[in-house]
Amino acid sequence: MIRSDWQPDRASPEPLHRQIEHYFKQKMTSGEWGPGTRIPAQRQLADMFNVNRSTIVSALDELVAQGLLEGNAGGGTRVVSTSWDALAAKPMLNWNNYIHAGSQQPNSQIVQTINQAEFHPGIIRLGTGELSPDLLPVRRMQAVLAKLSTRAMTLGYEEAKGSMRLREALSDRMRGLGIEASPSSILIVSGALQALQLISIGLLEAGSSVIVEAPSYLNSLHLFQTAGVQLNGLPMDEQGVIVKDLARRRQSSRDSLMYTIPSFHNPTGIVMSEARRRELIALSERERLPIIEDDVYRDLWLDEPPPPPLKARDAAGNVLYVGSFSKSVSPGLRIGWITGPKTVIDRLADIKMQTDYGSSSFSQSIAAEWLTSSQYDDHMTELRAALRARRAHMHALLDRHLTGLAEWRMPTGGFYVWLRLNTGISATRLFQDALRHGILLNPGGIYDRTMGSFLRLSYAYASHAELADGIAGLASLIRSQVKA
Amino acid sequence: MIRSDWQPDRASPEPLHRQIEHYFKQKMTSGEWGPGTRIPAQRQLADMFNVNRSTIVSALDELVAQGLLEGNAGGGTRVVSTSWDALAAKPMLNWNNYIHAGSQQPNSQIVQTINQAEFHPGIIRLGTGELSPDLLPVRRMQAVLAKLSTRAMTLGYEEAKGSMRLREALSDRMRGLGIEASPSSILIVSGALQALQLISIGLLEAGSSVIVEAPSYLNSLHLFQTAGVQLNGLPMDEQGVIVKDLARRRQSSRDSLMYTIPSFHNPTGIVMSEARRRELIALSERERLPIIEDDVYRDLWLDEPPPPPLKARDAAGNVLYVGSFSKSVSPGLRIGWITGPKTVIDRLADIKMQTDYGSSSFSQSIAAEWLTSSQYDDHMTELRAALRARRAHMHALLDRHLTGLAEWRMPTGGFYVWLRLNTGISATRLFQDALRHGILLNPGGIYDRTMGSFLRLSYAYASHAELADGIAGLASLIRSQVKA
């Protein structure tokens, strides 16, 4: 979609519709809007340029008449390919051939819609799995930056595995969780997503399959699927993934590995019980099943810390453990890490170097400073208190507005309430309706195809007032579906 | 390779070789050193633990006797796979199956050797294409951080294409080069390497081929080859790639696109002439040949600015333009950008989001502050003066030591001297000899298979004293080859 930084000049003698027409032409002749570029809807254009819709209609009609734009059956308008030569008097490359050529698939449509809608001004983001701007530790971060500004710093590349200072700090911290990982077995990455990306291109073959919880965050990403890897969901109960089912499944099929979020699972909020963790590790050893443990929500416990990580019990080296600063301190840092058998970490480090030559050394210095000062622990204490208040607020709102329309259980940590809509309510329709009403939802279907009657709600992002408006609005949208 | 943070305890009553044996066992039982992990050479281990080599031999012999380590024909020692069960009494996963499964190929051996050797203490890096630590603007960077520490800041995710402030600043700066790019046509990436990575997975199909200059930086990377893309080198002269040869080649084959570094080419230092640029753009329009213009060295001109970018003449939207802060300000920032037709940028932004959710917002804020204050331009003025002095130093050293042994031409900007060794001197052997003498070279073969008799030297990284020692050392290694 086109976003414009340009505005028509109201002081000019040239009519507004001509100015807009010329602006469009200039973008097309410069090659910036190549053939196939989608033009926003008339209403959006009118908003964008602060003009009447009729002005837009005049401008677009003229461009269509000149053969530069064309409408399509779906009602959209695009820059024409075939007439391009006439306009520019220069043959124009159709980059679309290239755009569809690469190996990476575009994000699924609904996820793309969510990604874009997140930037609509005023939208209430009821499903967003991030800390709200007011929960982000701006003052502490300013203090950290001020401290770093007085220090010697690394402006050059870091070692392939990342800053030694940060890896040492992470090694210390993980020891406190029962994980023995020396700095040479730790790879710094640009967030947990990149960890998964590196694993998918570095360790998985096209045609292999990965066991995930059903539902799973991994289904909302395209990266494993893009690598030709199939995801197989296994049922969960309130103790986490059902390991008996996993054992049964292993008798008939040889999945390559398992991906799990044992603590404050995304999207269900479930914490895998101590017993279930032992079972899973035993199975992993018996069956030689590698496990990716995504533990990015661990420090966001609200009632009590979760049981130790799977990695802490992993004497056989079967677990790759993934952590991140994105959920607890700052997504903008783009810092996460992986630890596991050194040969695997070496391999992933080599691929990371080929991909982007390592993560920002500034972000790494900042992260190290957070961990080695008291900032991290002090912040987590404050953050937990704020999240508890948000959780209580959400709890009260759900009780007040959604009782009888849906079912849910409040989590003991993390961000998410996994909410099951009563029979007969379509989450897909609800998603579309809500979007039109300025409420952004994360429908369950993006985490598991069969879970279309669920929603992932989050109490971490929207403000208290937005949560109140959003949940009330959601309730009335559900009611109008039930009535219709 | 294993690097150790551990040291034997000389005060302990336990013999050193036993301590080392136990340390190794602990690493193996924790799964950190999985089956197949390579054990460093005895000499290296002795250095690492500050013990005699006989102590290492005792420890390793014991571990081999217990069936935990095994030697191989090549003289290396590895952790055994088959006897693992006996040790841990737990089945151990062979991650090697996974390590060889993924789609990404490991970096070529010589490039890996270079990457590792760069961290050897005391090594003289004669080929490194980075600014030396003393050229990196630490004080200016401290001032930028101090300024940012007093400001409102983005701790959350940025928009998919990156920080609007940075994109606006880049849009302004590129306008000064004759490139019209609005912020919505700019994608912020984590360095030029990531730009190429995104292009290779997003726009290129396996089996396609890309034209590069011969020699080309791209040959030293594995990322296009990993995507199944073939690189075809075209000859250069002192004006840049020979466009007539390109036109001829197009008659027989349909390469997907061309990758070029028109200004201060890596590795040759050549600047494409004005006339050659016009020819290339005309051919690109006529033949609809997309071009990736890698312009990361542009601001490092020493005598006069290079001709305008290809992108400035690209009325047809055929050029994707890539820039970076890594060569001019700080590689550790990991900030670069791509601009081109908006549809292409949209596609690459989507893939970037799937890969790592965007670049560090701290690095982006820092980069924006550099561009919007006077820091960038002031720094470049200072940097050019320092690089001119280094270039003159290198020039004098080459004249003094290598006259008669090699030929070269001093560049008008960038970092590199492309040096041709006289007939009969093997660059591969020279690379190995030099490495043993603590001098790290970039042999020409990594940039083009047929250019084994060249070296890429750089005056940007090693200190003045190191350059003097390094070039003198190089000369005596060459002489000893000539004599032998």
Residue B425: CATH number of its domain? 3.90.1150.10
- Chain A contacts of B193, Cβ < 8 Å? 354-357
C-beta separation of B362 from A361 below 8 A: no
Lowest mean pLDDT among A63-72, A168-177, B463-472: A63-72
Which residue among A106, A184, A316 places its CB closest to the CB of B90?
Answer: A316
Residue A104 in any domain: the answer is no
Name the DSSP letter for residue A324.
Answer: E
**Cβ within 8 Å, pair B156-A142:** no
Label residue A74 by pLDDT band (50, 70, 90): low
**Cα of B403 to nearest chain A Cα, Å:** 33
Q: Using CB atoms within 10 A of its CB, is residue A75 exposed (0-12), middle (13-18) or buried (19+)?
A: exposed
Number of A/B CB contacts below 8 angstroms equals 374
User: Is there a contact between B177 and B312 (Cβ–Cβ < 8 Å)?
Assistant: yes
Give the whole-angstrom CA distance, residue B477 versus residue B443: 15
CB B81 within 8 A of CB B38: no
A73 CA to chain B: closest CA distance, Å?
20
ipTM entry: 0.81
Q: Which of A357, A383, A446, A458 to mutate to test the interface with B (most CBs of B within 10 A)?
A: A357
User: What CATH number does residue A336 fall under?
Assistant: 3.40.640.10
Instruction: Show the domain range for B56.
Output: 16-99
Helix (H) or strand (E) holding B176: none
CA B345 to chain centre: 24
Q: Which residues of B touch A201 (CB under 8 A)?
A: 102-104
Gap between the Cα atoms of B263 and A82, Å rounded? 34
CA separation for the pair B127, B416 (Å, rounded): 8
**Are A199 and A306 found together in one domain?**
yes
Q: List residues bridging with B93 in a β-sheet.
A: none
In a domain, B164, yes or no: yes
Domain-terminating residue out of A343, A376, A409: A376
Distance separating alpha carbons of residues A38 and A77, to the nearest angstrom: 6
Query: Does residue A52 lie within any of the structural domains?
Result: yes
**Is the pLDDT assigned to residue A2 strictly greater than 60?**
no
Residue A4 lies in a domain: no
Q: What is the mean pLDDT of residues A271-286?
A: 96
Query: CA A320, A321, A322, A328: dihedral to nearest 10 degrees?
Result: 170
- Residues with Cβ within 8 Å of B430's Cβ and at least 6 positions away in sequence, in order, are B421, B441, B443, B455, B474, B477, B478, B481
Sheet arrangement for strand B186-189: B186-189, B336-339, B319-324, B291-294, B257-260, B209-214, B230-237, B240-241
| List of chain A residues whose C-beta atoms are within 8 Å of the C-beta of residue B112 | 350
Whether residue B180 and residue A33 make contact (CB cut-off 8 A), yes or no, is: no
Picking from B29, B183, B332, the nearest residue to A361 by CB comes out as B332
- Per-residue pLDDT tens over the stretch A332-361: 999 999 999 888 898 899 889 888 999 999
Nearest Cα residue to A269 out of A384, A428, A389, A391: A391
**What kind and span of H or E run contains A407?**
strand A406-407
Compute the residue count for chain A: 484
Last residue of a domain, one of B376, B400, B427: B376
Give dist(CA A4, CA A16) in Å, integer: 15
Residues B214 and B346 in one domain: yes
CB contact (8 A) between residue A360 and residue B355: no
Residue A465: which residues within 8 A CB-CB, separation 6 or more? none
Same domain, A126 and A246: no
Three-state DSSP state, B434: helix
Both A372 and A388 in one domain: the answer is no
Q: Which of A37, A107, A206 is opposite residue B350, by nearest beta carbon?
A: A107
If one counts the domains in chain A, the total is 3
Same domain, yes or no: B227 and B118: no
User: Do A76 and A222 reside in the same domain of the chain?
Assistant: no
Output the CA angle A184-A189-A191, nearest 5 degrees: 140
How far apart, in whole angstroms, are the C-alpha atoms of residue A147 and residue A314?
38
- For residues B235 and B331, membership in a common domain is answered with yes
Whole-angstrom distance, CA of residue A220 vs CA of residue A114 = 11
Q: How many CB atoms lie within 10 A of CB A482?
A: 12
Residues of A in contact with B151 (CB under 8 A): 142
- What pLDDT does residue A87 have? 29
Please name the helix (run of DSSP H) or strand (run of DSSP E) that holds residue A320, with its range, or none. strand A319-324
| Cross-chain Cβ contact B156/A317 below 8 Å | no
Domain boundary among B376, B407, B422: B376
Predicted pLDDT of residue A44? 86
Residue B162 to residue B86: CA distance in whole angstroms = 53
Closest to A315 in 3D by CA, of A278, A337, A285: A285
Task: Specify whether B369 is located in the same domain as B393.
Answer: no
Are B332 and A362 within 8 A, CB to CB?
yes
> What are the structure tokens assigned to B159, written together?
């928009």
Average pLDDT, stretch A371-383? 98
The pLDDT profile of chain B, 484 residues, written as one tens digit per residue, is 455 678 888 877 778 888 888 888 777 766 677 767 788 888 888 888 888 888 888 888 878 766 677 776 556 787 764 322 332 333 345 555 655 555 555 557 788 788 788 888 899 999 999 999 999 999 999 999 999 999 988 898 888 899 999 999 999 999 999 999 999 999 999 999 999 999 888 888 777 889 999 999 998 887 787 778 889 999 999 999 999 999 998 887 777 889 999 999 999 999 999 999 999 999 998 888 899 999 999 999 999 999 999 999 998 889 999 999 999 999 999 999 999 988 889 889 988 988 899 999 999 999 999 999 999 999 999 999 999 999 999 999 999 999 999 999 999 999 999 999 998 888 888 999 999 999 999 999 999 988 989 999 999 999 999 999 999 999 999 999 888 7
What pLDDT, on the 0 to 100 scale, is given for residue A14? Answer: 79
Q: What is the CATH number of the domain that holds A61?
A: 1.10.10.10
**Is B347 within 8 Å of A106 when comparing Cβ atoms?**
yes
CA-based nearest residue to B326, from A25, A360, A225: A360
Say whether B354 and A36 touch across the interface (CB within 8 A). no
As a whole number of Å, the CA-based R_g of chain A is: 25
Residues B371 and B419 in one domain: no
- Distance (Å, whole) CA A217 – CA A433: 24
Mean pLDDT of chain A: 88
Q: Which of A355, A359, A364, A461 to mutate to test the interface with B (most CBs of B within 10 A)?
A: A355
pLDDT at B127: 96
Strand partners, A211: A232, A258
> In this structure, are strands A439-440 and B257-260 parallel, antiparallel, or unpaired?
unpaired
CB contact under 8 A, A203 and B102: yes
**Is the per-residue pLDDT at A92 higher than 50?**
no
Average pLDDT rounded to a whole number, residues A456-466 = 97
A194: closest chain B residue by CA: B356
**Structural domain includes residue B8:** no
- How many CB atoms are located within 10 Å of the residue A481 CB? 16
Nearest Cβ partner for B182 among A5, A107, A331: A5
Residue A6 lies in a domain: no
Find out whether A236 and A208 touch, Cβ atoms under 8 Å.
no
For chain B, what is the largest distance between any 2 Cα atoms, rounded to a whole number of angstroms? 80
In terms of residues, how long is chain B?
484
The answer to whether the CB of B152 falls within 8 A of the CB of A141 is no
Residue A88 has what pLDDT?
A: 30
**Mean pLDDT along residues A17-33:** 79
- Two structure tokens written together for A484: 């219709």
Q: Considering only alpha carbons, which residue of chain A is nearest residue B186?
A: A32
Mark A435-447 as b/e (b = at least 16 C-beta within 10 Å): beebbbbbbbbbb
CA–CA separation, B348 and A107 (whole Å)? 11
Do residue A356 and residue B202 have CB atoms under 8 angstroms apart?
A: no
Pairwise CA distance, residues B178 & A274, whole Å: 63
Q: Please give the biggest Cα pair distance in chain A.
A: 80
Task: State the Rg of chain B over Cα.
Answer: 25
Q: Does a structural domain hold residue B356?
A: yes
Residue A5 included in any domain: no
Structure tokens at B397: 């050293």
- Residue B102 has what pLDDT? 56
Strand order in the sheet with A257-260: A186-189, A336-339, A319-324, A291-294, A257-260, A209-214, A230-237, A240-241
Which contacts of B15-19 are long-range, i.e. CB under 8 A and separated by 24 or more positions?
B16/B49, B16/B51, B16/B55, B17/B51, B17/B55, B17/B56, B17/B58, B17/B59, B17/B62, B18/B59
Q: Which residues of A touch B95 (CB under 8 A)?
A: 203, 290, 317, 341, 343-344
The structure tokens listed for A273 are: 């019980």
Q: In chain B, what residues touch A102 (CB-CB under 8 Å)?
A: 200-205, 351
Tell me B98's DSSP state: H
Would you state the pLDDT for residue B1? 43
Give CA–CA dist A445/A53, Å, rounded. 36
The number of beta carbons lying within 10 Å of the beta carbon of residue B142 is 16
What is the reported pLDDT for B115? 79
Interchain proximity A205–B101, CB inside 8 Å: yes
Residues A344, B98: C-beta atoms closer than 8 Å: yes
Cβ–Cβ < 8 Å for B342, A37 = yes
Tokens of B437: 């003498």
**Spatial distance between the Cα atoms of A230 and A209, rounded to a whole number of angstroms:** 4
Look at residues A210, A183, A267 and name the one whose alpha carbon lies nearest to residue A446. Answer: A267
| Cα gap A215→B280, rounded to integer Å | 53
The residue ranges of DSSP E strands in A34-96, in sequence order, are 38-39, 69-71, 77-79
The answer to whether the CB atoms of B315 and A180 lie below 8 A apart is no
Chain B hits for A363, CB-CB cut-off 8 Å, are 360, 362-363
Element (H, E) at B111: helix B109-117
Asked if A101's CB is within 8 angstroms of B203's CB, the reply is yes
Say if residue B370 is in the same domain as residue B393.
no
Contact A99 B203 (CB under 8 A): yes
* Distance (Å, whole) CA B297 – CA B274: 17
Residues A301 and A443 placed together within one structural domain of the fold: no
- Quickly list DSSP for A204-215: --TT-EEEEEES
A208 and A316 co-located in one domain: yes
Residues of chain A positioned with their CB less than 8 A from the CB of B32? 180-182, 185, 317, 341-342
What is the side-by-side order of every strand in the sheet holding B38-39?
B38-39, B77-79, B69-71
- Cβ-based burial of A9 (10 A; exposed 0-12, middle 13-18, buried ≥19): exposed
pLDDT for position A91: 36
